[in-house]
Amino acid sequence: MSTGIETAGVPEAAIPELVIISGMSGAGRSTAAKCLEDLGWFVVDNLPPALIPTMVELGARSQGNVARIAVVVDVRGRRFFDNLRESLADLEAKSVTRRIVFLESSDDALVRRFESVRRPHPLQGDGRIVDGIDAERELLRELRGDADLVIDTSSLNVHELRAKMDAQFAGEEEPELRATVMSFGFKYGLPVDADLVVDMRFLPNPHWVPELRQYTGLNEEVAAYVFNQPGAKEFLDRYAELLRLVQAGYRREGKRYVTIAVGCTGGKHRSVAMSEKLAARLVSEGVETVVVHRDMGRE
């Protein structure tokens, strides 16, 4: 299939991979971009969206010297931002492999970060920092919905964000699909970067079993208690079957990352045990999988 890019004499295999980094100001876009740069990507910060196809074309003409391009797009170039959707459509029409990484964070975390560096939000104008954050969320809403990978940095430090980027992009060969299975506690809120959410609160809570309360779902006795409950094993089997159907659809649509959030009340027992089993199923089916226990240890 022809890419449609004007690169006379350049083989299709030479068309570079493209990652677009965007998201909330203060959420870690610069750190994410620096990580890709350290991994050998050619990184362009604040490139006007209308020039992205031109950048890809120049990379294609480099005879393989620029095989992977990362572009940071943010509200600093807001007068160009309306052109982004047109550029994305142009890339899709030309069969360019592109991915969108969106950096997300809570309002509280963003306010703390702006206050710590004593800088205004780029969209706050004469208002407050939260006014700028609200305006930016609205501006980026559709792009966030189109993102292939959403990373919530609310509770991450720089090193943890770099580790997440490394986990997604450091491999020599790109897998068909990467999955993150995340346990969480509903009382601490839904993970904002989840693609799929399931609820384990239909199972009895080991918290109310005195000899199990102090342990987590990583403990063999707790896991055995959870999976001996009616419906637990059946849920695992049926949900794994559903995920096989979803995986096939994601692959057809070119989506390479999925975050599956598994919740219970506190994120300590049921969700942890189910996340471990679910991740093991995915790995056995050839899906590269990372397990994260977001709220374990918070109690």
| Residue 274 among known ligand-binding residues | no
- Is 2 assigned to a binding site? no
Asked if residue 185 belongs to a known ligand binding site, the reply is no
Residue 76 annotated in ligand binding: yes
Q: Of 282, 44, 292, give the one whose Cα is nearest residue 155.
A: 292
3 CB neighbour count, 10 Å cutoff = 19
Phi, psi of 151 (to 5 degrees): -115, 120
Annotated ligand binding at 77? The verdict is yes
The verdict on whether residue 19 carries a ligand-binding annotation is no
Q: Is 28 annotated as a binding residue?
A: yes
Is residue 29 marked as binding?
yes
Radius of gyration from C-alpha coordinates of the chain: 21
Q: Is 75 annotated as a binding residue?
A: yes
Query: Is 165 a known ligand-binding residue?
Result: no
Characterize the bridge pairing of strands 17-23 and 68-72.
parallel
DSSP secondary structure, 17-48, as one string:
EEEEEEE-TTSSHHHHHHHHHHTT-EEEES--
Binding site: which residues?
Answer: 23-30, 74-77
Binding site for GTP: which residues?
Answer: 74-77
Binding site for ATP: which residues?
Answer: 23-30
